[in-house]
Amino acid sequence: MRHVNQTQLLATDEIVESPVPRACEDQSFEVPFGVYAAMAIMFTGFVAVLSVAFSGHMAVSFGVIFAFLAAFFAIPALFPNMAPDSRGVALKWHEFVDRGIDTATGRTNATSATVLILALPFLILCFAIAIATIAALV
């Protein structure tokens, strides 16, 4: 067995950079609680508006939808605690505003990230209000 030093390993390209951390290793998703809360409010508002508009017809269905929504937000909240090294923690609001987050297309500031995250829940809530309005007028 012979001793090989670091310069010899570098010369033969046997030392390489460590791999880039994969997105699935950070299970906190970096988004602060306020954004999750706004998204949860919009989704539950969607179901609440429709359940009020069609109150007697679909009570069981809306109960099941509320249960799925609860799971949709509760399970990802458990992810950071399940990580082996428990390093993933959601950003505080001031950190989110200062740094933004990494997305698939690169770094995004807090305003853009919030709009990206909340655009679809907002449109879904508007859809429910439109359907309830149409049902009330018919």
Taking only the tens place, the pLDDT of each residue in 64-107 is 998 999 998 888 777 766 766 655 567 889 988 998 888 777 88
Name the packing angle between helices 110-137 and 33-53 (round to 10°).
10
Give the predicted TM-score (pTM) of the model. 0.71
Taking only the tens place, the pLDDT of each residue in 25-78 is 555 567 888 998 999 999 999 999 998 898 877 888 888 998 999 998 888 777
Which pLDDT score, from 0 to 100, does residue 27 have? 55
Strand, coil or helix: what is 85?
Answer: coil
The mean of the pLDDT values for the chain is 83
Which pLDDT score, from 0 to 100, does residue 26 have? 56
Please tell me the distance from the alpha carbon of residue 84 to that of residue 27, in angstroms, as a whole number. 11
Which pLDDT score, from 0 to 100, does residue 14 have? 67
- Output Rg (C-alpha) for the chain, integer angstroms: 23
